A and B are shown apart, each in its own frame.
Chain A
Amino acid sequence: MSAIADKLFMYFQYSFVVNALIVGVLIALCSSMLGVTLVLKRYSFIGDGLSHVAFGAMAVAAVAGFTDDMPFILLVTVAFAILLLRTGQNAKIKGDAAIAMISVGALAVGYLLMNVFSSSANVSGDVCTTLFGSTSILTLTKTQVGMCGVLSAVVIGVFVLFYNKIFAVTFDENFARAAGTPVGTCNLLLAVLIAVIIVLAMNLVGSLLISALVIFPALSAMRIFNSFKSVILCSALFSVVCAFAGIVLSILAGTPVGATVVMIDMLAFGAFYVTGSLKNGG
């Protein structure tokens, strides 16, 4: 036991480990807070679709040779988030079909571009890295950590300020609209926040695994807690603890960061599920 503690202590001396933990925890916090709303609004798949869009954007940025690709990816993802939410409303192509279409489309474009134009010798390695996350969270620069910190703060701040409106819009959109709440603006805001979180989360778990960060904390908290506020708080705590544990474990065991975090999320979800069943009498 003390050998592990020593090893951990040693790792915590390195700034890259500390950076990874800071960024991981921030991402987990943001995604889990919004996750509750997304799950309740039946938007779970938007996160998934947008992450594929982010992957496509990243490929375009790589081909175009942008040195700092984050702003570009952010812009593209936000644009698609707004587009998806709008198509969901006027429904010429139904919401889920639109999401599926855009998500596979972006995936194909991204892979094609990376394959045709890549200068790297190891294309499949690069693709795998962007899809499943990688050690990139362990090689973050100071600027990236700073940017992640600022964006997370903005996401959390906006969420807190709009908390009551988000609740009203999530619980009953028609009622909120009738009472004069700016429903359209709130939905737009949600779309932008999701996009920001997804671009942030690509660093941690890669585009294919982002949905896990959105869904597991929310579903786990909903098994046990009875008010919106407690569900959000529990979801945030759940996500932060799992992300922390996952990152530490992956460093100790040398496993992929994203997959390890998601694995811990799944285990914790199982525990919450059982607890919830016992609590509700089966």
Chain B
Amino acid sequence: MEAQIICENLKLGYGAGVLVDGLSFTVEKGDYLCIVGENGAGKSTLLRTLLGLQKPLAGKITFGGGLQQNEIGYLPQQTFVQRDFPASVWEVVLSGCQGRCGLRPFYNREEKQIAKNAMEQLEIIPLARTCYRDLSGGQQQRVLLARALCASDKMLVLDEPVSGLDPKMAETMYRLVERINREMGITVIMISHDVLEAIPYATHILHMDREYFFGTVEEYRRSRFGNTFLQPE
């Protein structure tokens, strides 16, 4: 197995406010890593750091196994700008190929094909000309997932992909991500606030609290973290 990301002794935060200290973990090709923990534990900050949107205060992140930092597909939490944005589904998905363009101003045929394939995978071809703002929450998430697939065929990073979706749509979303992971061999890193929902699909767990746990799902179930966190109330 090749390690795609190795994090050693990460210290993360903003200025004086340290959110994460002494965090180490490894992500290998094909893993499905689920990041769980309380609000404010620094989960989103960790993702932003992995994506290169902010710098770690200390520690080291190494990319390997043929993965570069800008080859990660990202599904962000929705921002308010996007909600009333006039853009067709096709335009949004295609914009995922922007990273492949470099300085070239327009998309080429290959990139358009990639976008088409991604839409096919997520069954949103019929929505191509629909306006993004007119879609349901679940459909919007699918569109953003397709966009993330355009950006990378190696790794996806998802920030609370099911927040705000009803249980049925959340289930569909989990299954789609699982298929992307198992069938396409794409590594998945996902933040989830719902451990019980997310764990059946994951191979590894990173639990962020005052202390950290990192290991396989089996190890997590046996650990004291898992014991307290997974017990039904």
Binding site for B on A (CB under 8 A): 40-42, 160-165, 167-168, 170-172, 174-181, 221-222, 225-229, 231
Contact = CB atoms under 8 A, between A and B. Distances in A.
Closest 3 CB pairs of A and B: A179-B99, A180-B70, A226-B131
B129 A227 contact: yes
Q: Is the interface of A mostly helix, strand, loop or mixed?
A: helix
B86 A226 contact: yes
Given A160-B105, A179-B74, A226-B129, 11 more contacts: A164-B98, A165-B105, A170-B85, A171-B81, A178-B70, A178-B74, A179-B99, A179-B151, A180-B70, A228-B85, A231-B86
Interface residues of B, number: 32
Contacts of B131: 226-227
B99 A226 contact: no
Nearest to B150: A179
B202 interface: no
Contact of B107 (A164, A180, A227): A164
17 contacts: A41-B81, A164-B95, A167-B87, A168-B95, A171-B81, A171-B95, A174-B74, A174-B79, A175-B74, A176-B98, A177-B51, A178-B51, A180-B70, A227-B86, A227-B131, A228-B86, A228-B91
B72 A178 contact: yes
B92 A171 contact: yes
B76 A171 contact: no
Interface of B: 48, 51-53, 70, 72, 74, 76, 79, 81-82, 85-88, 90-92, 95-96, 98-99, 101, 105-107, 129-131, 134, 147, 151
A40 B81 contact: yes
A179 B86 contact: no
Contacts of B134: 226
Nearest to A180: B70
A227 B90 CA distance: 9
Nearest to A177: B53
A170 B85 CA distance: 9
A202 to B, nearest CB: 29
Contact of B87 (A174, A176, A177, A227): A227
A163 B98 contact: no
Residue with the greatest number of chain B CB neighbours at <10 A, chosen from A163, A167, A178: A178
A171 B82 contact: yes
Given A40-B85, A161-B105, A175 B76 contact: yes
A221 B87 CA distance: 12
A226 B89 CA distance: 10
Contacts of B98: 164-165, 168, 176, 179, 181
B91 A172 contact: no
Contacts of B96: 175, 179
A59 B95 CA distance: 43
B44 to A, nearest CB: 11
A163 B105 contact: yes
Given A164-B101, A164-B106, A174-B53, A227 B74 contact: no
B76 A174 contact: yes
B184 to A, nearest CB: 19
A167 B79 contact: no
A226 B106 CA distance: 21
Nearest to B147: A175
B99 A172 contact: no
A178 B91 contact: no
Contact of B86 (A41, A168, A225): A225
Contacts of A163: 105
Contacts of A226: 86, 88, 129-131, 134
Nearest to B157: A178
Nearest to A223: B86
A41 B28 CA distance: 37
Contacts of A229: 91
Nearest to A162: B105
Given A178-B72, A179-B96, A181-B99, A171 B106 contact: no
Nearest to A182: B103
B81 A42 contact: yes
Nearest to A229: B91
A170 B84 CA distance: 12
A226 to B, nearest CB: 4
A160 B105 CA distance: 8
Contacts of A167: 87, 91, 95
Nearest to A165: B98
Contacts of A41: 81
A41 B85 CA distance: 10
